[in-house]
Amino acid sequence: MNPFHSTRRQFIKNTGLATLAMSAFPTIIPSSALGKDGAVAPGNRITLGVIGCGPQGRGDLRNFLNQMDCQVVAVCDVKPDQLALAKKAVDDQYKNQDCKTYRDFREIIGRKDIDACLIATPDHWHVPASLLAVNAGKDIYTEKPLGLSLEEDQVLRAAVHRKQRVFQFGTQQRSSRNFRFAAELARNGQIGKLKHINVWSYGSSPGGSRKEVPPPEGMDYDLWLGPSAFRPHTENRCAAESNLKTWWFDSQYALGFIAGWGIHPMDIALWGGGELLGGSVVVEGRGNYRTAEGICDTATIWDVDYTFASGLTVKFVGVPNGENHGKPTGEPFLYEAEWKARYRQITNHGTAFEGDNGWVHVDRGNLNLQAEELNRVSEDSFRTKLIQSKNHARNFLDCVKSRTETVSPIDAAVTGDALCHIADIACRLGRKLTFDLKKERFVNDEEANQRLKARPMRKPWHL
């Protein structure tokens, strides 16, 4: 049975009952509904359904609630407590109780009155939920990272293009002036010829309880698992608190922070490197994968080197995130002293472009430049200009209206995700690999190519 079709039938039934009930009452139309008093008339609003209401989803939700031409009409989560928090945020913003709640995201996708979906589920749901939404004609804002495999990414990309849907990836650093300026400096030769890029991010946590416990009360654990193989629920697997949850670092549901956090600085490297990060790339690396201590089995730290056909080199490093679910790991930060000396001020994440005539380093708190006069360079003088966005949700909504490409489009999302995937594969196989970015395959290495394929999915879920 197709899971999407079954909910559409139920939705049509429910909609008919709701319409009959509403017809029994007189209608009072407020001035705001007609577009007066500075409000946006309902016919001009983009209706949004939210799928995944954990801390990240609610953060994105708040951004959309602040956009006058967007109306959040439905929220969905398999955990009642997270769902209630999301509904309260919507109701408090709109001063009513109109926001509908759902446990099964297919009911949101089945609503024809919803234009777009925000998808902020756990990682293993990003592509399956996005794919169902796209095929139902919805535009989508999907949180990062993308898929558990490159094949999943490719299937979603094909659907987005085939259905001509607007797609925004949750790499919101592209909506920050400092990140765009750093990428434009690199793109426009302001630091000379671009030679090398350093990329670093938080690594995964090790550990994680193996103790089997019942799922949280009221949670639909089977739907949370969805396409992944059934496993008994373990302590803190689905916790909302970032210092407790273990699914982030369990390869059944995620690649870990090599993609979950690493995609942020890697995406900026891709934005600033442009065509230099194309063709073929040789990748080799090493990572620390701890499995004996607990359920977490993704790379806690990594050190990966890319050499592109253009001659550009990239180093991608995982930084110990400082916790083994509350306990210090004690692992060193590779290259910390060297990069602090070079860039003057760094944090646990960042992207640094190095040219033959200077460098630019950027993270969420700093923009460091060498030479200092680069601070005075006018963006108007750049020949290569990148899309300007001051707000990721705002950019998405504007593109939904104009049907133009977002600041974080599907093609960039797949390429950035691919660079994270091949880093993880190179570390796990422990040997030098060559990847063709045009064909999206490893060269003469079938074992590595098998790791790019989609995993088997539990019925009734499929790509």
Residue type present at position 331: E
Whether 16 and 8 have beta carbons less than 8 Å apart is answered as no
Domain-embedded: residue 324: yes
Residue 282 lies in a domain: yes
How do 46-51 and 70-76 pair as beta strands? parallel
Cα–Cα distance, 160 to 165 (Å, whole number): 5
How many CB atoms lie under 10 A from the CB of residue 38?
Answer: 7
Q: What are phi and psi of 243, to 5 degrees?
A: -85, 0
Closest CA to 210 of 133, 285, 297, 144: 297
440-446, Cβ contacts within 8 angstroms, sequence gap of 24 or more: 440/150, 440/154, 443/280
**Contact between residue 108 and residue 114 where contact means Cβ atoms under 8 Å apart:** yes
Task: Single out the residue of 267, 226, 239, 228 nearest to residue 55, CA to CA.
Answer: 239
Report how far residue 58's alpha carbon sits from residue 402's, in angstroms, rounded to the nearest whole number.
Answer: 26
Q: How much is the pLDDT for 379?
A: 86
Residue 4 confidence (pLDDT): 36
Pairwise CA distance, residues 51 & 132, whole Å: 12
The pLDDT score that the predictor gives to residue 240 is 93
The structure tokens listed for 292 are: 């004996």
Q: Is 351 helix (H, G, I), strand (E, B) or coil?
A: strand
Domain interval for residue 421? 176-386+410-450
**Structure tokens belonging to residue 407:** 């600041």
Residue bearing tokens 């030098």: 432
Tell me the whole-structure pTM to 2 decimals: 0.90
Q: Is 435 helix (H, G, I), strand (E, B) or coil?
A: strand
> Would residue 306 count as lying in a domain?
yes
Domain-located, residue 455: no
Encoded tokens for 253:
């549901």
Sheet strands (E) in 84-225: 100-102, 116-119, 139-142, 167-169, 194-202
Poorest-pLDDT segment among 276-280, 333-337, 394-398: 333-337
Stretch 102-122: mean pLDDT, rounded? 98
Contacts of 456 (CB under 8 A, 6+ apart): 229
Helix axes 410-429, 263-273, angle to 10 degrees: 120
Domain CATH for 311:
3.30.360.10
Whole-number Å distance between alpha carbons of 123 and 253: 6
Q: What is the DSSP string of 84-104?
A: HHHHHHHHHHHTSS--EEESS
**Residue pair 199/317 in contact by the 8 Å Cβ criterion:** yes
Tens digit of each residue's pLDDT (9 = 90 or more) over 153-206: 999 999 999 999 999 999 999 999 999 999 999 999 999 999 999 999 999 999
Give the whole-angstrom CA distance, residue 259 versus residue 256: 6
Domain-embedded: residue 12: no
Are 363 and 178 in contact by the 8 Å Cβ rule? The answer is: no
Token pair, residue 148, equals: 């558990």
> pLDDT digits over 17-66, tens only?
333 233 333 333 343 444 445 556 666 899 999 999 999 999 999 999 99
Q: Quick check: 457 pLDDT over 70?
A: yes
Cβ 183 vs Cβ 271: under 8 Å: yes
Does 92 fall in a domain?
A: no
pLDDT, average across residues 437-455: 97
Domain-embedded: residue 244:
yes
Output the pLDDT for position 307.
98
Q: Rounded mean pLDDT of 424-449? A: 97
Pairing of strands 46-51, 116-119: parallel
Task: Report how many domains make up the chain.
Answer: 1
Question: What is the pLDDT, as a whole number, of residue 297?
Answer: 94
Q: What 3-state DSSP class applies to 212?
A: strand
Q: Which residues of 325-364 are buried (b: 16+ CB within 10 A; e: fewer)?
A: beeebebebbbeeebeebbeebebbbbbbbbeebbbbbbe
Cβ(275)–Cβ(196) below 8 Å: no
CA geometry: angle 298, 303, 304, nearest 5 deg: 100
- Return mean pLDDT, the chain: 90
Nearest Cα neighbor of 124 from 4, 226, 39 is: 226
| Per-residue confidence (pLDDT) for residue 323, from 0 to 100 | 52
**Has residue 460 been placed in a domain?**
no
Assess contact for 420 and 255: CB atoms under 8 A: yes
Q: What is the pLDDT of residues 255-267, one digit of tens each?
A: 999 999 999 999 9
Query: For residue 450, what pLDDT is reported?
Result: 98
Q: Lowest mean pLDDT: which of 227-231, 241-245, 390-394?
A: 241-245
Per residue in 273-310, pLDDT (tens digit) is 999 999 999 999 999 997 667 999 999 999 999 999 99
What distance in Å separates the CA atoms of residue 105 and residue 96, rounded to the nearest whole number?
Answer: 22
